[in-house]
Amino acid sequence: MSQHDAEQERTEVLPPAETEIENALAVESLVVLEGQDGKEPKVGSKKDAGTPFRDSLRRLRKDKRAMVSLSIIVLYILIALFGPWIYQHIGSDYTSNVNGRIIHSEVYHNFSHQEPDRQDEGPSGQYWLGTDAIGRDLFARLMQGMLISICVAFAVEVVDVVLGITIGVLAGYYGGWIDQLLARFADVIFAFPGLLFAILLVGILGTRANDTLGKIPVIGPNGNARLLLVSIALAFTVWPLMARYVRGQTLQLKEQQFVEAARTSGTSDIRILLRHIIPNLFSIVVISSTLNIVNTIVGEAGLSLLGLGVQTPGASLGLMISDGAVELSVHPWEALLPAGVLVLIVLALSYLSDGLRDAFDPRAKD
């Protein structure tokens, strides 16, 4: 009997289950042999598997424009947080020509310090970006303006994420009268134009805020008393958009099999929301938050530009643009510097948002 007939007879004798196991072992041995020869295992092996989150991060790392934007944003935050403290410890003491006093670097590198005899100076070793029309350090004021943008954006975004996720998840998961009530409430708030509401609120309560909050050591003397009103107004009008996104995503997630299985097994609604619904909202929340930060930074700068936000001697990108616009034809850099920083951070956040959307979109496959 030939070898082929013997193998055919052996195959017919073996049960189907044993034949499948033998074939599987043969395939595994082939993969091992390929790995020993220095070749990569076939696609679909365990070594090639990855979680959806890791796949999204891999796609994000491949997006050069998004990674450059992320680097700019990280540098922006580091300069705003640590730059003022470092800058105030750089430089030697000098004698003022006005009163003859010795001025330390902690003083003349402060964003609110004025030197009447050092007006509209260009960049130098003492003032890295020069001074403005009343002798204030432009670099110190620029870093303070960047810090103000970050603080307002962070405060607004905390309210946006908390309210948006809470209301959106409850409306989408429970439906019925809860969905109708929360959705109509969100529609009412969504009808308020953000900037117009902020202008109205600051215009009515701005003077009272200066008188009340001006006594607080950290806020009042720095001209930032109205920032609380600006943050409240912007936070009050931005969360409905987040709630709409979260509600739509929750409506899809609650129909998934893993949620149905958890509900069938007797898992409580709170546990389902915390363990199955909210963690799967990560991508939509991050993308929406990034876009909202752009609007918040532009909104705060616009209000300060109009004189409704940060007040002198405080510093804001919008306030610096307003002060520099007076001498735009003579000393253009005083307005172009804050405007350039504002444009740069807005573009970086916009490109990063596009990269996050492409990376976390499950339809964006390589």
**Rg from Cα positions in the chain:** 30
pLDDT at 215: 66
What pLDDT sits at residue 362?
53
User: How far apart (Å, rounded) are the C-alpha atoms in residues 8 and 12?
Assistant: 6
Residues of the chain with CATH 1.10.3720.10: 64-360
Burial class of residue 17 in the structure, from the number of CB atoms within 10 Å of its CB (0-12 exposed, 13-18 middle, 19+ buried): exposed
Per-residue pLDDT at 250: 92
Mean pLDDT by 10 residues, the chain (366 residues): 49 44 42 44 47 82 92 95 92 78 86 86 89 91 92 92 93 90 86 84 81 64 76 88 91 89 88 90 89 91 88 88 89 92 94 88 54
Beta-strand ranges (E) seen in the chain are 94-95, 102-103
Q: How far is CA 315 from the centre of its chain?
A: 22
pLDDT of 219: 59
- At the topology level, CATH places domain 64-360 in MetI-like fold (1.10.3720)
What pTM was computed for the model? 0.79
Task: Report the C-alpha gap between 122 and 118 in whole angstroms.
Answer: 10
